[in-house]
Amino acid sequence: MENNNLNNDDRREKERVSIFATLKYKGLTKQKSVEAGIVNNISERGIKFQNTKFIPLGCLIGLSIYISPVHEPIKAVTRIVWIKKQAATEGYDVGSKFIDMTDDDKVRISDFLRAYLSARTA
């Protein structure tokens, strides 16, 4: 029998790396104010972050991800693919898929993930 109850980890195509970083985001359709969030994990395909505002599924947002205090943020357009209310706080866990970013920012994410995974296995 086929298992149709796969969790997010089972459906992932790329390995996610748990990190602590900050981000800023702005809705590209209706929301024009800039909001802040905390990055939980990142992969070449998407990002999970926490924030205090509800973001509707399918919403396009522009992200600025601050994975290094000495470099410019990585900028990307993402689509919200899931959102979950946190039980213990007033916040939300948000899963977002990368839709568009510059080639340079794609390389920066890839290099960051490769370096992180190499250090973890060393």
Buried b (16+ CB within 10 A) or exposed e, 77-93: ebbbeebeeeeeeebbe
- Is 7 inside any structural domain? no
Give the predicted TM-score (pTM) of the model: 0.81
pLDDT at 14: 61
The three-point CA angle 51-53-58 to 5° equals 95
- Model confidence at 90, pLDDT cuts 50, 70, 90, reads confident
> Does 8 fall in a domain?
no
- How many domains, in total, are found in the chain? 1
In a domain, 1, yes or no: no
Confidence of residue 29 (pLDDT cuts 50, 70, 90): confident
3 state DSSP class of 37 = strand
CATH number at residue 71: 2.40.10.220
Domain that holds residue 116: 14-121
> Of 90 and 99, which is predicted with more confidence?
99
What is the Cα gyration radius of the chain?
15
For residue 29, being part of any structural domain is answered with: yes
pLDDT mean over 66-90:
92
The confidence score (pLDDT) of residue 48 equals 97
32 in a structural domain:
yes
Look at residue 83 in the predicted model and tell me its pLDDT.
97
Residue at 60 is within a domain: yes
